[in-house]
């Protein structure tokens, strides 16, 4: 998928991750390799390796391969690959737009905007969902009909911490376990794969944008979602949580008529183009309902 920055410049993306996923899910050999890879014990083992001091050896290779500008991040010694993956940016490198009427991005990522109706389908991590299947709640899906879904795709080279988009009262976290269904890859030339990633959501009763649903979607193989708060009063720009290793996605659902998304983002989304945004920057404004 093409991606542009806010100035209209096309961004060249490292497509290695996409090519690997395409091989694993769409090629017969890849599907044979995938079945053992998604076993829970192997995911736990991989997580343990990435938490170990041994995994520090991967850091220079990752920085070079993904061309990460380390001047953006705190200068410190990392104790494991996951410690590095969840690194913090230096103070002042992410400016939070504090204007109450401005809708901000919760994270760094590639943003696509969708209108929500009863027939809407959204592709997340190579899986197609309706809003009801994504939330596993008919009531919530119906509530957001007519509203807007903001999909932020984070690749492995992005900043993997995220923040609250407004002041307000946050509910507890609702966790949905991932599932993976397959058929025998040797039985058919065309081999259906159905999967759901682990995800977690909460609702923010915000001061400026109504009842905002925020969902974090983890990577299928290793990724972990770490949210810091259960029920709490939170502030715009306050860190909400982080993803540990793996590409990730954040979804924000807005009620009908609550916000107007910036024209460049809407135009890009209508043309099948993602928009590169950074945590805390304006991506829209409050709709004047008066």
The residues annotated with a catalytic role in the active site are: 108, 248
Query: Reduced to 3 states, what is the DSSP secondary structure of residue 26?
Result: helix
C-beta of residue 104 within 8 angstroms of C-beta of residue 149: no
* CB-side neighbour CA atoms (13 Å) of 202: 22
Helix or strand (DSSP H, E) at 263: helix 263-270
Which stretches does DSSP call E strand in 67-210? 102-104, 109-115, 122-124, 127-129, 148-154, 161-163, 168-170, 174-176, 179-182, 193-196, 199-206
List C-alpha distances in Å: 232 to 113, 168, 228.
28, 8, 10
Report the alpha-carbon distance of residue 29 to residue 153 in Å, rounded: 27
Query: Reduced to 3 states, what is the DSSP secondary structure of residue 198?
Result: coil
Question: Six-digit token pair at 248?
Answer: 């990730």
Question: Six-digit token pair at 256?
Answer: 């009908």
C-beta of residue 283 within 8 angstroms of C-beta of residue 103: yes
Partners of 70 in the β-ladder:
none
List C-alpha distances in Å: 176 to 70, 111, 133, 193, 219.
34, 23, 11, 19, 13
User: First vs last Cα of the chain: how many Å apart?
Assistant: 38
Report the alpha-carbon distance of residue 236 to residue 77 in Å, rounded: 30
């Amino acid at each position: 998928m093409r991606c542009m920055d806010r100035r209209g410049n096309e961004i060249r993306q490292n497509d290695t991750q996409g090519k690997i996923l395409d091989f694993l899910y769409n090629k017969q050999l890849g599907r044979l390799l995938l079945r053992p890879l998604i076993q829970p014990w192997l995911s736990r083992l991989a997580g343990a390796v990435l938490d170990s001091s041994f995994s520090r050896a991967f850091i220079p290779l990752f920085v070079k391969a993904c061309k990460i500008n380390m001047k953006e991040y705190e200068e410190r010694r990392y104790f494991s690959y996951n410690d590095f993956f969840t690194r913090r940016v230096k103070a002042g490198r992410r400016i939070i737009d504090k204007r109450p009427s401005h809708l901000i991005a919760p994270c760094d990522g590639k943003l696509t905007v969708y209108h929500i109706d009863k027939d809407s389908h959204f592709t997340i991590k190579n899986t197609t969902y309706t809003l009801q299947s994504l939330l596993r709640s008919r009531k919530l899906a119906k509530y957001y009909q007519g509203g807007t879904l903001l999909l932020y795709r984070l690749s492995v080279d992005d900043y993997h911490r995220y923040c609250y988009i407004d002041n307000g009262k946050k509910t507890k976290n609702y966790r949905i376990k991932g599932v993976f269904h397959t058929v025998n890859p040797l039985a058919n030339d065309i081999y259906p794969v159905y999967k759901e990633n682990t995800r977690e959501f909460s609702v923010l009763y915000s001061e400026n944008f109504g009842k905002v649903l925020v969902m974090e979607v983890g990577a299928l193989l290793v990724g972990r979602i770490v949210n810091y708060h259960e029920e709490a009063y939170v502030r715009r720009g306050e860190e909400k949580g982080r993803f540990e290793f793996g590409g990730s996605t954040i979804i924000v659902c807005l009620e009908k008529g609550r916000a107007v998304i910036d024209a460049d983002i809407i135009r890009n989304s209508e043309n099948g183009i993602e928009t590169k945004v950074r945590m805390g920057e304006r991506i829209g404004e409050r709709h004047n309902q008066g």
